[in-house]
Amino acid sequence: MSGANPGRHALGGENVKSMATINFVSGEAGGTGSTDSGLGTRNTHGVLNAVSWGTLMPLGAMMARYLKVFKAADPAWFYLHVATQTSAYIVGVAGFATGIKLGSESSGITWSDHRNIGIVLFIFGTLQVFALLLRPKKDHKYRLYWNIYHHSIGYSTIILSIINVFKGLDILDPAEKWKKIYIGILIFLGFNAAMLEAFTWYIVIKRKRAAAHDKHSHGVNGTNGVNGYGARTHPNV
């Protein structure tokens, strides 16, 4: 109550863990009890989406970006990437389905932002599945456009996934430790991504320098003054 007027309680946490039916004609109440089944569905929804969209998706992207720099990892990195992202999509679809179920069971409560982002994620994930099926060969003229499409949708999915996981945590309002655990997972992934990014650039630059050195060595032979075409060069040129 707020003075003599009934107030509004929060729509999360302890406030949505129990319910009852009141007949205003007879004044009788019935159906009082805990909504453990509903809470279980919400927890399942949260865990599925945090694992799939919020964890496996970024992990799969890291595999594609950082493993392929190692020549010995080709083509293993591609299959690991596909397996991780496909698993994330399958688990994510299960999480999406539980979200639809929750929405149908609580028509009076609507979390528009969380719902809309979830729909976009489902669409983006499905587009990535089609991208795998339509992937052209490396030397195909449309490969550049496919790369732009695949990367832009992929990174957008990761960003939206993380945002929506935090929105879901705010709605579910679990114990504070669960949000801290997910933040810890993101910090772990982010730290490793930063280290691997620096190492990747080190390897790429090193290979370019080695390739330039080899090209120069084959182009001019400093010992006998003969260039790569077999013609003798002047020692002062």
Where is the binding site for heme b, in residues? 45, 81, 114, 150
- Binding residues, by number, are 45, 81, 114, 150
Instruction: Quote the CA–CA distance of 114 and 168 in Å, as a whole number.
Output: 7
